[in-house]
């Protein structure tokens, strides 16, 4: 279980994440939603120790992320951030293989190679595996990064806007793959999503943030309500119940 | 294809190496060496001057090429190398300080002082990079050049006061003509450092992906940066103290290798090492034959060839990306 206690991030006088305490459920998909500047990405980065906290602490399976050795945590928790600009020219396969680093320490075994192949297949990257990242489109690159993170084979996977730059087909297939991984392998995903309907259709648990605080959390039917979403987004959002899913229609 | 390329590269380098052994004012010829009554003087010349010179050239090429690659991964920018990141200039300042304040210090001591200066100068460069907003990739080498010029002016001022301007020039311009047995052996340490870089190659590749990736993969970014800085500074200091800096090498060779091989350091370091050795060897041989019997310093030739090739590379790269 991931547990955040009084997590705060301050830049000068600006409070970006304001005293957030959370328990993220084990297993399944948890999605963090909310308007720009609500502190979603900052919170995710602090939980995954890539950004230092101003105060508070985070426990992953009881391990404090600040004091636990990095290589121990790297086998339990993986993160993909939003802005993944690489200056290095690596091939897709090389990048994905680096996802095995916490296990292989740079000397991939046959088992590591199997993980790599599986991740490449999962993300539909077979045909692109020998290509350099700078020769791919943004969406293809995004899939390669997700493959790398999945290859790390951790219990907790944190993805900041994994659908960034993906077309409809690949967005759906990405969410389906995360769903399958959660259901069959028992992994826990924490996502930051901008698309409300993807969040609603695929998540077990939704967390709505606003102004650095957790405003609401619960199951899709608890969050996908006009009154809740108005309080989060300052926008009238009608909700339809279609084929068992709660769908927001906010386009007009 | 790649093994063919490797074989071709090795053959060219071996040929160049043989050529470099037999050119010079002193007469060293195959016949003189291997005749039934070998010429003592030719043999001496070979052992005392020609072979040490060849080894120094290879060691400098290998280590500066790999140091350039490391700098590029640490700064996450293709256009930096020890000579455009303040490392070489701060190393020169270090040797100057040692020479002016403690002239009795042995070469090893001067080198260590230079390495400390290079470490501080390069670390300062990386610190500045963290502080300034980077709008364009070209800002990074420009910052390095500005910083280097600041060190340079301090060096020139101090050297002028101590009447050491000529020595400073020797540190700044790599020249292999002064290499003799007993005066280059420090360079062997660079081979150890290069091997060290190869052992840690995967870490450097991970660090090249940025701090967040590095942390997520369970590695300590600051530790890798520190290791890289130590290697780069020591290599730079040794080269500056023994033969002088060779420009463009650390920029050109890793960029060419990256085009063909990508940036997985485990794969590219051997190529950068071989390419660097070949490049410096070529420059040294050219410098010795262009105005025979006089010599042009290898660094000058490297500057001419390097700048043209690098400009070509820069324009080509832009065309491909845009």
Integer-rounded Cα Rg, in Å, for chain B is 20
DSSP assignment string, chain A: -EEEEEEEEEETTEEEEEEEEEEEPSSEEEEEE--TTSSHHHHHHHHTTSS--SEEEEEETTEETTTS-HHHHTTTEEEE-S-----S--BHHHHHHHTTHHHHTT---HHHHHHHHHHHHHTT-GGGTTSBGGGS-HHHHHHHHHHHHHHT--SEEEEESTTTT--HHHHHHHHHHHHHHHHHH--EEEEE-S-HHHHHHH-SEEEEEETTEEEEEE-HHHHSSHHHHHHHHSS--EEEEETTEEEEE---
Which CATH number belongs to the domain containing residue B242 in this structure?
1.10.3470.10
- Nearest Cα of chain A lies from the Cα of B206 at a distance, in angstroms, of 8
Indicate whether B174 belongs to any domain. yes
Indicate whether B29 belongs to any domain. no
Selection from B127, B113, B10, B23 nearest residue B58 by Cα: B10
CA distance readout (Å), B272 to A186, B166, B182, B203, B275: 44, 32, 27, 17, 5
Please count the residue pairs, one from chain A and one from chain B, whose beta carbons lie less than 8 angstroms apart.
Answer: 76
Instruction: Look at A90 and B263 and tell me if their CB atoms are within 8 Å.
Output: yes
| In contact, B143 and B125? CB cutoff 8 Å | yes
Mutate which: B217, B222, B262, B267, vs A, most A CBs within 10 A? B217
Selection from B155, B69, B216, B46 nearest residue A44 by Cα: B216
| Three-state SS at B316 | helix
| In contact, A133 and A141? CB cutoff 8 Å | yes
Output the pLDDT for position B321. Answer: 42
Instruction: Compute the distance between CA of residue B80 and CA of residue B84 in angstroms, rounded to an integer.
Output: 6
Predicted ipTM of the assembly: 0.89
| Mean pLDDT of all residues in A198-220 | 94
Helical packing angle, B87-101 and B221-242, nearest 10°: 60
Nearest to B217 among A74, A89, A132 (CB): A74
Instruction: Look at A134 and B209 and tell me if their CB atoms are within 8 Å.
Output: no
B317 burial level (CB within 10 Å; 0-12, 13-18, 19+): middle
- pLDDT over threshold 90, residue A196: yes
CA distance readout (Å), B245 to A206, B131, B211, B271: 59, 28, 30, 21
Output the pLDDT for position B260. Answer: 87
Residue keyed to tokens 């070979």:
B46
CA distance readout (Å), B158 to B104, B118, B120, B154, B244: 18, 17, 19, 6, 19
Mutate which: B141, B213, B256, B317, vs A, most A CBs within 10 A? B213
Instruction: Look at B218 and A75 and tell me if their CB atoms are within 8 Å.
Output: yes
Residue keyed to tokens 């050219």:
B286
Find chain B residues with C-beta within 8 A of A152's C-beta.
Answer: 216-217
Indicate whether B152 belongs to any domain. yes
Output the pLDDT for position B133. Answer: 79
Residue A157, C-beta contacts closer than 8 angstroms, at least 6 positions apart: A77, A78, A79, A149, A150, A181, A187, A188, A189, A190
Residues in chain A: 252
Instruction: Look at B216 and A90 and tell me if their CB atoms are within 8 Å.
Output: no
What are the backbone dihedrals phi and psi of residue B244, each rounded to the nearest 5 degrees, phi first? 105, 160
Helical packing angle, B265-289 and B51-75, nearest 10°: 140
Nearest to B212 among A71, A81, A89 (CB): A81
Instruction: Look at B205 and A88 and tell me if their CB atoms are within 8 Å.
Output: yes
Nearest to B219 among A50, A70, A90 (CB): A70
Nearest to A88 among B209, B211, B321 (CB): B209
Mutate which: A44, A65, A71, A101, vs B, most B CBs within 10 A? A101
Q: Which residue segment(s) compose the domain that B94 sits in?
A: 57-321
Q: Total structural domains in chain B?
A: 1
Indicate whether B8 belongs to any domain. no
- Nearest Cα of chain A lies from the Cα of B211 at a distance, in angstroms, of 8
- Nearest Cα of chain A lies from the Cα of B248 at a distance, in angstroms, of 20
Instruction: Look at B218 and A45 and tell me if their CB atoms are within 8 Å.
Output: no
- Three-class secondary structure assignment of B122-154: HHHHHHHHHHCCCCCCCHHHHHHHHHHHHHHHH
- Nearest Cα of chain B lies from the Cα of A215 at a distance, in angstroms, of 28
Taking CA–CA distances from A130, the nearest residue in chain B reads B262
Residue A199, C-beta contacts closer than 8 angstroms, at least 6 positions apart: A31, A33, A191, A193, A206
The four Cα atoms B241, B244, B247, B253 give a dihedral, to 10 degrees, of -70
Residues in chain B: 322
Nearest to B216 among A74, A90, A105 (CB): A74
Tens digits of pLDDT across chain B (322 residues): 678 888 898 899 999 999 999 888 777 777 777 777 777 888 888 889 999 999 999 999 999 999 999 999 999 998 899 998 999 999 999 999 999 999 999 989 999 999 999 999 999 999 999 888 777 888 888 999 999 999 999 999 999 999 999 889 888 888 998 898 988 999 999 999 999 999 999 999 999 999 999 999 999 999 999 999 999 999 999 999 999 999 999 999 999 999 889 999 999 999 999 999 999 999 999 999 998 888 999 999 999 999 998 888 878 765 444 3
Output the pLDDT for position A106. Answer: 83
Selection from B145, B144, B154 nearest residue B94 by Cα: B154
Which residues of A make CB contacts under 8 Å with B? 45, 48-50, 69-75, 78-81, 84, 86-91, 94, 98-99, 101-102, 105-106, 132, 134, 149, 152
| In contact, A98 and A150? CB cutoff 8 Å | no
Indicate whether B106 belongs to any domain. yes
| Mean pLDDT of all residues in A68-79 | 94
Nearest to A78 among B209, B216, B266 (CB): B216
Residue keyed to tokens 């608890």:
A222
- Nearest Cα of chain A lies from the Cα of B196 at a distance, in angstroms, of 15
Selection from B142, B157, B141 nearest residue B92 by Cα: B157
What are the backbone dihedrals phi and psi of residue B177, each rounded to the nearest 5 degrees, phi first? -70, -20
Output the pLDDT for position B251. Answer: 93
- Nearest Cα of chain A lies from the Cα of B144 at a distance, in angstroms, of 18
Instruction: Look at A74 and B73 and tell me if their CB atoms are within 8 Å.
Output: no
Indicate whether B2 belongs to any domain. no
What are the backbone dihedrals phi and psi of residue A84, each rounded to the nearest 5 degrees, phi first? -110, 70
pLDDT per residue over A144-187, tens digit each? 999 999 999 999 999 999 998 899 999 999 999 899 989 988 89
- pLDDT over threshold 60, residue A25: yes
């Amino acid at each position: 279980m991931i547990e955040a206690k009084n997590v705060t991030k301050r830049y000068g006088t600006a409070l970006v994440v304001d005293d957030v305490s959370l328990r993220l459920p084990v297993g399944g998909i948890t999605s963090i939603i909310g308007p720009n500047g609500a502190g979603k990405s900052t919170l995710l980065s602090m939980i995954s120790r890539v950004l230092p906290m101003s105060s508070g602490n985070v426990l992953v399976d009881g391990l404090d992320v600040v004091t636990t050795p990095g290589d121990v945590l790297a086998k339990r928790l993986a993160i993909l951030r939003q802005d993944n600009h690489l200056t290095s020219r690596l091939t897709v396969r090389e990048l994905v293989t680096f996802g095995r680093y916490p296990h292989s320490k740079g000397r991939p075994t046959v088992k590591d190679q199997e993980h790599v192949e599986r991740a490449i297949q999962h993300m539909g990257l077979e045909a692109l595996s020998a290509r350099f990242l700078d020769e791919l489109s943004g969406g293809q690159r995004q899939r390669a990064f997700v493959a790398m993170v999945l290859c790390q084979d951790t219990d907790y996977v944190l993805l900041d806007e994994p659908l960034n730059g993906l077309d409809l087909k690949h967005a759906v297939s990405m969410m389906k793959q995360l769903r399958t991984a959660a259901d069959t392998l028992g992994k826990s995903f924490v996502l930051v999503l901008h698309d409300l309907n993807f969040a609603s259709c695929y998540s077990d648990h939704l967390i709505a943030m606003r102004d650095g605080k957790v405003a609401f959390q619960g199951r899709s039917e608890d969050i996908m309500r006009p009154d809740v979403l108005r309080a989060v987004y300052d926008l009238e959002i009608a909700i339809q119940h279609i084929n068992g899913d709660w769908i927001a229609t906010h386009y007009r | 294809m790649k093994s063919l390329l490797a074989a071709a590269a090795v053959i060219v380098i071996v040929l160049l190496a043989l050529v470099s052994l037999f050119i010079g004012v002193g007469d060293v010829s195959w016949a003189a060496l291997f005749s039934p009554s070998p010429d003592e003087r030719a043999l001496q010349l070979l052992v005392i001057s020609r072979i040490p010179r060849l080894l120094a050239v290879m060691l400098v090429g290998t280590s500066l090429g790999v140091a350039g690659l490391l700098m590029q991964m640490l700064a996450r920018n293709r256009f930096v190398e020890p000579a455009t990141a303040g490392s070489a200039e701060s190393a020169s300042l270090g040797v100057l300080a040692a020479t002016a304040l403690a002239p009795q210090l042995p070469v090893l001591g001067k080198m260590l002082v230079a390495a400390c200066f290079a470490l501080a100068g390069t670390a300062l460069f990386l610190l500045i990079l963290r502080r300034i907003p980077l709008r364009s990739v070209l800002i990074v080498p420009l910052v390095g050049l500005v910083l280097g010029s600041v060190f340079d002016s301090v060096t020139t001022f101090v050297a002028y006061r101590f009447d050491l301007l000529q020595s400073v020039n020797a540190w700044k311009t790599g020249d292999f003509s002064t290499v003799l047995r007993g005066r280059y052996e420090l360079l062997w340490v660079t081979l150890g450092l290069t091997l060290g870089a190869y052992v840690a190659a995967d870490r450097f590749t991970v660090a090249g992906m940025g701090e967040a990736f590095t942390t997520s993969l369970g590695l300590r970014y600051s530790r890798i940066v520190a290791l890289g800085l130590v290697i780069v500074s020591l290599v730079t200091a040794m080269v500056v103290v023994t033969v002088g800096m060779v420009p463009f090498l650390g920029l050109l060779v890793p960029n060419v290798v990256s085009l063909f091989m990508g940036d997985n350091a485990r794969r590219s370091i051997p190529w950068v090492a071989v390419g660097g050795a070949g490049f410096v060897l070529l420059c040294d041989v050219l410098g010795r034959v262009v105005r025979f019997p006089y010599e042009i310093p290898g660094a000058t030739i490297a500057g001419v060839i390097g700048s043209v090739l690098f400009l070509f590379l820069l324009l080509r790269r832009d065309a491909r990306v845009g």
